[in-house]
Amino acid sequence: MRNLIFAATGSLAVALAGPAMAQSFTYDVTWEPVESVGGLTGRDGPQYSGGSVKGTYVTTFDDGNVVNGKTSCVGMDQPDGGVFAIHLTCTATDTQGTYSLAYGCNYLGEPGPDTALGCIGAMEARDGDAKGQRGGLTMHWYSNEKSTGTGQWYTSE
């Protein structure tokens, strides 16, 4: 579960890097090991566990521009019955700016620490030329160390 939570977060951060108005992109993230944090025991087992993770990303825009950056994320399991099993929030930084990311993720199979995650999310440029611009994201966290995704910056007009 820790891998899933943090993978989603890292992917989102990668997607935000290097925005261009109304431009689509793909991204790949390489993650460091996840540090587990907290958690409580509930009727159905562990709940509210979370973790933090750092990673590096490569974003490729439709116009061929490539941007490398770093991301830092935190994530937390959600109670049973919600829309998402995990919520993630990240900060991504590259030469073009700093970005805030938020994801909702679900297991792509039986929940467990080695099960891939599928995530959707949103992003916002915090500084740089794209400050205030927002966009949407997808992410597939498919192993402990790797995730990939897509994104789209929206024009603010």
Over residues 57-89, the pLDDT tens digits come to: 999 999 999 999 999 999 999 888 889 999 999
pTM of the predicted protein model: 0.81
Over residues 110-141, the pLDDT tens digits come to: 988 889 999 999 999 999 888 999 999 999 99
- Hey, what domains does the chain have and what are their CATH numbers? 2-153 (2.40.160)
Does 20 have pLDDT greater than 50?
A: no
Over residues 31-59, the pLDDT tens digits come to: 999 998 888 877 766 777 899 999 999 99
Q: Name every residue whose Cβ is closer than 8 Å to that of residue 8 and which is 6 or more positions away in sequence.
A: 73, 75, 86, 88, 103, 105, 117, 119, 121, 139, 141, 147
Q: What is the pLDDT of residue 81?
A: 83
